[in-house]
Chain A
């Protein structure tokens, strides 16, 4: 019962195939994970199954819910399935919750409007669902008063209220901190254990591992490998699956093969304090970064790691303490990489305009740019695109180009890859680490991924509640993969 079967699914846009022949099955307690990167077509498959694709795409094949083809069903009949047979855990659920409604009301309305219970009974049931997910104290909160993890649990409470047997989850870990990610995976697995049919679309290998069930790895619109999660993830047969698995930070070889940096200090902060609206965020932190050194700051959300970076760059002024930057160096040689690459570019400007304006502003010859593009493996054909037409990884590399054009001495990288696919993350971070050594630039990388920090940085600083908690020096001396062969030289971790 309640099986969802996708068979011979093909999606075309004006004759161009985007998804070719996908077959997969999910059942109660037997989740299906579509694993792949941006552009692999996994979201299109989800869109076809949920009926949310734009009409210009031509979909053929079948999506069977208990043997009935819902792909062929008229939109009206499909809408009737929502909340009753099908339910969806959306990407970044805090964006999909009703911002004007308290948590309890959002759960209760499912009982009232979809299941037709009277108001008092609905509230009672809703309280029950919230309590199951540890949200009993949050019934009166609005979504904007909740953390990402809480918002996701609220979304799950709404899904539980609907009792729809088939549950779609779209990138359930996107935008969550590392510790919350594991929680999200465990919760989805719990839904599967409760007898629901879970279909999950993600680029996060950890989620696929946590969900177990069936994994289908997608690449360029095709399923390249499919099977039980244990088999696919532990004994990958396809080359691409192997690369995807190796891109998980815990599988990276240790990077720092450089000599311990002995360069001059490019930026330092002493006894930094900073409060926002009376709430102290940083309470006395000291930090210095040398030329060629990669320093990582880690810590839970709200520990002040981003604030620390912004203080060092001079974007914020400290309430107490001092920031010293290398004297005689222009302010623009202290650069920054942003968490969300598209937002760091002017939306209506092509890359060429952006870089040309920069070269004019600082009198940097255009012939400096071409080798940089090549070094970062960016094709010159990408220059005439606007940010919306580039991928996150390409944009982050363009962001590196524009920083490098100014010969930086220091670069703050604020969660530079948390929104990128694992393979792209690995590529960008390897580049960053190489460039630090090559250019003698100090890099401060803000991340919540401990594994990644320990692999990438010479030194890791843990912050907790605005204070220095501990620090590690990476002692491992692994081989430094070269960029010409960014993945080929990596060996499997197991």
Chain B
């Protein structure tokens, strides 16, 4: 797939994600306002010269808060996806390769995690683990590894059964070579698809949990918790509720459009 032959859908996805990423990286740096600074006299100000996107009910700059929130969401989502993908993939390859009790045990564990409602796991962790970030991150990663495990195990089984793997072993190549040169490159397209979907999913999950008050709590700017905070003022200042929600939509839509229907 070369850059010039991207379908319109993929191009749109790429633009959405690039815009979001730019906002997350540059936003907090360009917008020279403290997302936590309250100016109660300016609460729920309309977008204008002083506040480009207006203010919330406590008179905090929406632009600054959204930039920080986007950065937080994307960063946390990326870390979550990586923490799920890397162990999930390695365990999947290992299970396919070793077979026997190691594989049966891991498959059983994966099925058990799948059988458990993921929200329940996160709730449990939130109840026991301290802080805002850690339980959220742990919960999402502990649930997320399963799909990488299942996909990489299934694909690896197929690859290992192919004659070219047998041929490589007969030619004297070791396990490391087979893993590096034969298996991982063939897993990559499927894994990057999964990870892109996973990124969108993680952004949505983080904001959903924060929206119901289980994730990141105010005063930290987070897209979900911002929506919750501003919901009572939805009639006076509908934009303040819609804008954070629109950013979540952009992230999820961007990821899904980028992957598109063709998995590669």
* Interfacial residues, chain A to chain B (CB-CB below 8 A): 313, 315, 330-332, 334-336, 338, 340, 343-349, 357-358, 361-362, 399, 402-403, 406
CA distance in complex: A336, B163 (Å) = 10
- From B102-110, B165-173, B224-232, B235-243, the one touching the partner chain is B165-173
Q: Could you tell me if B170 and A338 are in contact, using CB atoms closer than 8 angstroms?
A: no
Q: Could you tell me if B167 and A336 are in contact, using CB atoms closer than 8 angstroms?
A: yes
Known: A343-B162, A346-B182, A347-B186. A357 touches B177 (CB 8 A): yes
Known: A347-B186, A348-B185. A358 touches B164 (CB 8 A): no
* B181 on interface, CB distance cutoff 8 Å: yes
Residues of A within 8 A of B166 (CB): 315, 336
**Of the candidates A330, A336, A338, which one forms a contact with B172 in the assembled complex, judged by CB atoms under 8 Å apart?**
A330
Residues of B within 8 A of A361 (CB): 171-173, 177
Residues of B within 8 A of A346 (CB): 164, 168, 181-182
| In the complex, residue of chain B having the shortest beta-carbon distance to the beta carbon of A353 | B181
**Of the candidates A336, A349, A362, which one forms a contact with B170 in the assembled complex, judged by CB atoms under 8 Å apart?**
A336
| In the complex, residue of chain A having the shortest beta-carbon distance to the beta carbon of B188 | A348
CA distance in complex: A335, B172 (Å) = 10
CA distance in complex: A322, B185 (Å) = 38
Residues of B within 8 A of A402 (CB): 171
User: Smallest distance from the beta carbon of B187 to chain A beta carbons, Å?
Assistant: 12
Known: A344-B163, A348-B186. A335 touches B181 (CB 8 A): no
CA distance in complex: A331, B166 (Å) = 13
Which residues 170-220 of B sit at the A interface, judged by CB distance below 8 A? 170-173, 177, 181-182, 185-186
| In the complex, residue of chain A having the shortest beta-carbon distance to the beta carbon of B162 | A343
Q: Could you tell me if A349 and B181 are in contact, using CB atoms closer than 8 angstroms?
A: yes
Q: Could you tell me if A357 and B163 are in contact, using CB atoms closer than 8 angstroms?
A: no
Which residues 102-123 of B sit at the A interface, judged by CB distance below 8 A? none
**Of the candidates A313, A340, A348, A403, which one forms a contact with B163 in the assembled complex, judged by CB atoms under 8 Å apart?**
A340
User: Smallest distance from the beta carbon of A411 to chain B beta carbons, Å?
Assistant: 11
> How many residue pairs, one in A and one in B, have C-beta atoms under 8 Å apart?
50
* Interfacial residues, chain B to chain A (CB-CB below 8 A): 162-164, 166-168, 170-173, 177, 181-182, 185-186
User: Smallest distance from the beta carbon of B178 to chain A beta carbons, Å?
Assistant: 10
CA distance in complex: A340, B170 (Å) = 16
Known: A338-B163, A345-B164, A347-B186. A332 touches B170 (CB 8 A): yes
6 A-B pairs with least C-beta separation: A332-B172, A343-B163, A344-B167, A344-B163, A338-B163, A346-B164
Known: A315-B166, A343-B163. A332 touches B171 (CB 8 A): yes
Residues of A within 8 A of B181 (CB): 346, 349, 357
CA distance in complex: A7, B182 (Å) = 48
Residues of B within 8 A of A406 (CB): 171-172
CA distance in complex: A332, B172 (Å) = 5
Q: Could you tell me if A334 and B170 are in contact, using CB atoms closer than 8 angstroms?
A: yes
Residues of B within 8 A of A399 (CB): 167
User: Smallest distance from the beta carbon of B220 to chain A beta carbons, Å?
Assistant: 44
Residues of B within 8 A of A336 (CB): 166-167, 170
CA distance in complex: A336, B165 (Å) = 12
| In the complex, residue of chain B having the shortest beta-carbon distance to the beta carbon of A349 | B181
Q: Could you tell me if A331 and B186 are in contact, using CB atoms closer than 8 angstroms?
A: no
User: Smallest distance from the beta carbon of A54 to chain B beta carbons, Å?
Assistant: 16
User: Smallest distance from the beta carbon of A406 to chain B beta carbons, Å?
Assistant: 7
Residues of B within 8 A of A345 (CB): 164, 167
Using A347-B186, A361-B177 as known contacts, list a sample of 8 further A-B pairs with CB atoms less than 8 Å apart, ordered by residue number in A. Answer: A315-B170, A336-B170, A338-B163, A343-B164, A345-B167, A358-B171, A361-B172, A406-B171
CA distance in complex: A378, B168 (Å) = 21
| In the complex, residue of chain B having the shortest beta-carbon distance to the beta carbon of A335 | B170
Q: Could you tell me if A362 and B167 are in contact, using CB atoms closer than 8 angstroms?
A: no
Residues of B within 8 A of A330 (CB): 172
Residues of A within 8 A of B163 (CB): 338, 340, 343-344
Which of B164, B173, B177, B186 has most A Cβ within 10 Å?
Answer: B164
Residues of B within 8 A of A313 (CB): 170
| In the complex, residue of chain A having the shortest beta-carbon distance to the beta carbon of B168 | A346
CA distance in complex: A100, B184 (Å) = 32
User: Smallest distance from the beta carbon of B164 to chain A beta carbons, Å?
Assistant: 5
Q: Could you tell me if B167 and A338 are in contact, using CB atoms closer than 8 angstroms?
A: yes
Which of B171, B172, B181 has most A Cβ within 10 Å?
Answer: B171
Residues of B within 8 A of A315 (CB): 166, 170
CA distance in complex: A348, B183 (Å) = 11
User: Smallest distance from the beta carbon of B5 to chain A beta carbons, Å?
Assistant: 14
A-B contact pairs, 7 of them (CB 8 A): A332-B170, A344-B167, A347-B186, A357-B173, A361-B173, A361-B177, A406-B171
CA distance in complex: A348, B170 (Å) = 19
Q: Could you tell me if B186 and A344 are in contact, using CB atoms closer than 8 angstroms?
A: no
Which of A336, A344, A399 has most B Cβ within 10 Å?
Answer: A344
Residues of B within 8 A of A357 (CB): 173, 177, 181
Which of B162, B163, B173 has most A Cβ within 10 Å?
Answer: B163
| In the complex, residue of chain A having the shortest beta-carbon distance to the beta carbon of B178 | A346
Residues of A within 8 A of B182 (CB): 346
Residues of A within 8 A of B171 (CB): 332, 335, 358, 361, 402-403, 406
Residues of B within 8 A of A347 (CB): 164, 186
CA distance in complex: A213, B167 (Å) = 44
Residues of A within 8 A of B168 (CB): 346
Residues of B within 8 A of A349 (CB): 181
CA distance in complex: A362, B186 (Å) = 25
Residues of A within 8 A of B172 (CB): 330-332, 361-362, 406
CA distance in complex: A338, B168 (Å) = 12
Residues of A within 8 A of B164 (CB): 343-347
Residues of B within 8 A of A358 (CB): 171, 173
Residues of A within 8 A of B173 (CB): 357-358, 361
Residues of A within 8 A of B167 (CB): 336, 338, 344-345, 399
Residues of A within 8 A of B177 (CB): 357, 361
User: Smallest distance from the beta carbon of A218 to chain B beta carbons, Å?
Assistant: 31
CA distance in complex: A405, B173 (Å) = 14
